[in-house]
Amino acid sequence: MEFETLIHSTRDGIAEIRLNRPHRLNAVTQQLYDELNAALSAAEADRAVRVVLLTGEGRAFCVGADLKEHKAGRTAFDRRQYLKGEQDVCRRLLRLQKPVVAAVNGYALGAGAEMALAADFLLMAQSAQLGLPEISIGNFLGGGVTWLLPRLVGLAKARELVFLGERIGGEEAVRIGLASRVLADEGFLDAARAFAAKLAGKAPLSMQLAKEQLNLSAERTLDACLTAELEGMTFVGTTRDWQEGVDAFAEKRAPVFRGE
C-alpha cells in the first residue's frame, strides 16, 4: 500500500508503521488518521504479521493535532469527522488482534500521547516526553484515555496528568506504570525492533486471546475470567501451535509458531 503520511514496511513478522510528517513533528491530520487506520487494517489481515510497531519519523513521535489544519471553512461535520478519526485509530489499536508496540522517539503530546497509550507496550527513548495538554488549552481528551489512564496509573495520578498537563519523561512513565521500558536514545529504534521481534516469536493465537482477556478483565467478575480462561485453554489445545510448543519443550529447542 502507498501512503503519503506514513512509512510502512513488513519484515520478519513485524509491521512497522512510522508517522511521516516530520516537518510538522508528525502532527495529525485527517489524512494521517485515515491512512493509519488503513495500515492497521492491512496489518491485522496479513497472516505474516505478528506484531505492529508504531513510531514517528524525525524528532517526534507525534505532537498532537496540526493546528494549521483547523482553519476557517471547515464545517461542523468536518471537524467531527476529524475528531472521530482519532477515536477510530485508538479503538483499533486497543482491539487489534495482534500486539502493538509504540516506540516513542521524541515528543508524544495530546493525540500523540493518546495513540501511544492505546498500544499494548509503550517504549520511550531516554529523552522522550509524554503529555496531555488538552485541558491547558481549553480542549478535551480523546482516544479513550479517560477509560484507559485510570486503569494504568490509578485515578489520583490520572487526574494529575490530565488536569495539570505536565510532560513526563520515560523514567517517570515507567515508575507510575504508564510505560513498559526506557531505552537509550542511541539505537532506540533498533532496540524497539528487537523488543517487537521477541513478541513476534510467541504463539500468535495465544497472544490474541491474552490481549482480549486482559483488556476485558476489569469489566468481568472472577468467575467470568475463569470461564473465559477455560475456553481459551481448551481452544489453543486444538491448535498446531500448541503441539509445536509441547514438542519444542520436549526437544529442548525454540518453537516455531505458525498461527494455526
pLDDT of residue 72: 58
Q: Is pLDDT larger for residue 149 or for residue 82?
A: 149
Kindly report which listed range (20-29, 73-82, 84-93, 186-195) carries the lowest average pLDDT score: 73-82
C-alpha cell at 49: 504479521
What's the pLDDT tens digit per position in 80-93?
888 888 999 999 99
pLDDT of residue 71: 63
| Whether residue 186 lies in the annotated active site | no
pLDDT at 176 over 70: yes
78-91 core/surface letters (b: 16 or more CB in 10 A; e: else): eeeebeebbebbbe
Banded pLDDT at 67 (limits 50, 70, 90) = confident
Backbone angles phi and psi of 208, in degrees to 5: -60, -45
Residue type (1 letter), 249: F
Task: Answer whether 103's CB lies under 8 Å from 55's CB.
Answer: yes
Which parts of 6-153 fold into alpha helices (H)?
30-45, 76-95, 111-117, 145-153
What's the pLDDT tens digit per position in 49-63?
999 999 999 999 999
pLDDT of residue 58: 94
Residue in 44, 134, 219, 251 annotated catalytic: 134
Residue in 16, 57, 86, 114 annotated catalytic: 114
Interior CA angle at 166 toward 165 and 169, to 5°? 135
pLDDT of residue 158: 97
Compute the mean pLDDT over every residue in the chain, rounded to the nearest whole number. Answer: 94
Banded pLDDT at 177 (limits 50, 70, 90) = very high
pLDDT of residue 70: 65
| Whether residue 134 lies in the annotated active site | yes
DSSP-derived secondary structure letter, 26: T
